[in-house]
Amino acid sequence: EQYEPCWLRYEKVEGYYQNLSLFSNIVVKGASPVFHSAVEELSRGISSILGIQPKVVKSVEKSGFILLGTIDDEEVKHRFSSLREFRQMNKEGYTIQSISFNGELSIYLVGKTDKGVLYAVFHFLRLLQMKKDIDHLSIFENPKNQLRMINHWDNMDGSIERGYAGRSIFFKDYQFIKNGNRIKDYARLLSSVGINGVVINNVNVHEAETKLITEEFLSDVAKIADIFRAYGIQTFLSINYASPIQIGGLSTADPLDSSVQQWWKSTVERIYQHIPDFGGFLVKADSEFRPGPFTYNRNHAEGANMLAKALQPFGGIVIWRCFVYNCQQDWRDRSTDRAKAAYDHFKPLDGQFHNNVVLQIKNGPMDFQVREPVSPLFGAMPKTNQMMEFQITQEYTGQQKHLCYLIPQWKEVLEFDTYAKGKGSQVKKVVDGSLYDYQYSGIAAVSNIGDDPNWTGHTLAQANLYGYGRLAWNPDLSAEEITNEWVLLTFGDDPEVVEQVSQMLLDSWRIYENYTAPLGVGWMVNPGHHYGPNVDGYEYSPWGTYHYADRYGIGVDRTVRTGTGFTAQYFPENAEMYESIESCPDELLLFFHHVPYTHRLKSGETVIQHIYNTHFEGVEQAKQLRERWKRLKGKIDEKRYRDVLERLNIQVEHAKEWRDVINTYFYRKSGIGDKYNRTIYK
Ligand code: BDP
């Protein structure tokens, strides 16, 4: 089985590091599986990067070494305990310190716990690959977010819902894949960027996956958990709320029914017998035809708390998704607004959830569109744990055929000020738990990997996975820093390559936005698979996703004054900003307002002319992406060069289709031509 190492390439670095003796001498002060992974990774990295096969010893024998230990180690304590940052490390934190004795350099890779040691190793190897000076290191790192998770939408038949990179690496033909090698390498990739939790199955739990919590499959789940555990990653499962009926032989799944409670209690006990550090459950309930507490006239808090009680004794948590809305709405009724649903359902329940329940909220109020405002639910529940859900898999952003680097989008979301506790209440402070002192909080994202040889379909989509992990670890990193790291690790340090690939990535989201749905209106995709343009595909359907374009204008009026009233869900500063056409940012204009085609944007252009301009420009920009890549021929290995080029060719062709469909549609609706007379198929 051949597949790419992604950013863990460990390419040879020649003639850069002079003082090599420390690399041949690794002192290991610990023995757990996580420690073992750390030592293995460091040895592998050093031998591949420097061509040195290090010797692993248990105590310091000579000067010039790399020491791996935790803060409890006497040698470590003695040396560093006077440092303030050393005493302030959180439980996954670490430090990297260079020290010279008699001209001999030694490096200490020290974690608060074993996990920190592993993270320190990955960080150190990153520095070596990027040819950073290692003589004077004094690095302290603490993850800002507690839960840093990946959600897999993998099904046991081996398919992946919204997967664009092959089949599942966990399941095949309703069984677990026996060979764990690929899962181990996946765990290495995740751990190297600090991911510490994985949900291995789809939130839509079908009949087969419902059985994952039974004896039939728990020993298989436990094997996967063993692999992940050695990399500091906890395993979670998505569950079917109707399990007590479907596999428990009960007649109800009512959370207030004592036989149901008992059933979950013993189910959870059984899970922990197999997996002592099992993370908990991810639950999609009462959403898109999934069962849930509503059937029994119970609310989400009652539904979640019942599971939380069963998990509590073992330290497990319930991650309850807020993606709840009416997917059978009457499209003729313009007053119903799907964007309002999550807030309407959950906000009134603030304070009613157990402290081991976390609400997982999608970044926007709709569904992972190329442009959406931030969900108003963030910050609106001071007494309820909240976490973020991003989508790495590019369901609505080009399905890994188009280049669409999402780090800049996620940065905007995390930096958005909710004003929940006045100025400075950014989303990142809600989800890192600091704004309201949440017990559990963090970030999750839907995976973009599958069994394709390059993991992500589009080679450059690896950057979305890498960047997600880095951002979950530290949301204060800039998109540029993250991008630079990824490019260096993935393609090396040729300045032309670094420059071109970084720019391609950083520009790509806006380029994709340019030739697809305009000004925050969203959708306009083919129903079902969601790829390619179809302006009215969802317009007369029950899913609640409309643009309301007619011959006079376009957009969704979500104002309080004349529309659905959605703007009122934000704290006053943002509510006012979105309510008024003058202060609403152009890029979200059609999300919040219904305007005539002749409405002038802040740029001075009319809406219709803006649509034409961006769609013509978007295609030109897609072509430029391809040109930039072509300049790198010969500087990137042929295989990856061709793979990416192939995708960029597809992108250009499909961008043209987007341009022509959107432009023609709006020309026909509005009857207003392009002022530059470019070709629109009339
Ligand atoms: C939508 C996807 C659907 C997911 C759903 C969810 O189209 O496949 O099941 O979100 O997040 O974006 O539950």
Taking only the tens place, the pLDDT of each residue in 629-681 is 999 999 999 999 999 999 999 999 999 999 999 999 999 999 999 999 998 87
Specify the length of the chain in residues: 682
Q: Is-above-0.90 flag for pTM?
A: yes
Within 13 Å and on the Cβ side, how many CA atoms surround 655?
30
Please give the pLDDT value at position 80: 94
User: HSE (CB half, 13 Å, CA atoms) of 274?
Assistant: 22
Which three-class secondary structure state does DSSP give residue 656?
Answer: helix
For the stretch 212-238, what's the b/e string if a residue is b when 16 or more beta carbons lie within 10 angstroms of its beta carbon? Answer: bbeeebbebbbbbbebbbbbbbbbbbb
**For residue 31, which phi and psi values (nearest 5 degrees)?**
-145, 5
Average pLDDT of 284-306?
Answer: 97
Q: By mean pLDDT, which of 97-101, 256-260, 271-275, 475-479 is the weakest?
A: 97-101
CA 289 / ligand 1 centre spacing (Å): 12
Looking at 299-399, list the stretches that DSSP marks H as alpha helix, in order from N- to C-terminal side. Answer: 300-311, 341-346
496 is catalytic: no
419 contacts 573 by C-beta, under 8 angstroms: yes
Between CA 279 and CA 269 the distance in angstroms is 13
In short, whether 395's Cβ falls inside 6 Å of ligand 1 is yes
Q: Which of 203, 287, 360 to mutate to test the pocket of ligand 1 (most atoms within 8 A of CB)?
A: 203
Which atom of ligand 1 is nearest to 203's Cα?
13
pLDDT per residue as tens digits for the range 95-146: 999 999 888 999 999 999 999 999 999 999 999 999 999 999 999 999 999 9
The pLDDT-based confidence of 62 (bands split at 50, 70, 90) is: confident
Beta pairing class for 94-101 and 138-141: antiparallel
- 557 catalytic? Reply is no
Cβ neighbours of residue 600 under 8 Å, at least 6 residues apart? 606
Which contacts of 170-175 are long-range, i.e. CB under 8 A and separated by 24 or more positions?
170/200, 170/201, 170/224, 171/201, 174/208, 175/220
| Residue of 288, 476, 627, 637 marked active site | 288
Please state, in angstroms and rounded to a whole number, the distance separating the CA atoms of residues 617 and 601.
17
Options 367, 432, 513, 557, the catalytic residue: 367
Per-residue pLDDT of 162-214, as tens digits, reads 999 999 999 999 999 999 999 999 999 999 999 999 999 999 999 999 999 99
| Model ipTM value | 0.98
Pocket probe for ligand 1: among 151, 206, 239, 288, the residue whose CB has the most ligand atoms within 8 Å is: 288
Pocket test for ligand 1, best of 204, 388, 543 (most atoms within 8 A of CB): 204
Ligand 1 pocket check for 203: Cβ under 6 Å: yes
Active site residue 288: yes
For 287-316, what is the mean pLDDT?
97
- Nearest CA owner, ligand 1 atom 9: 204
Q: Is the CB of 161 under 6 A from ligand 1?
A: yes
CA distance 237 to 243: 13
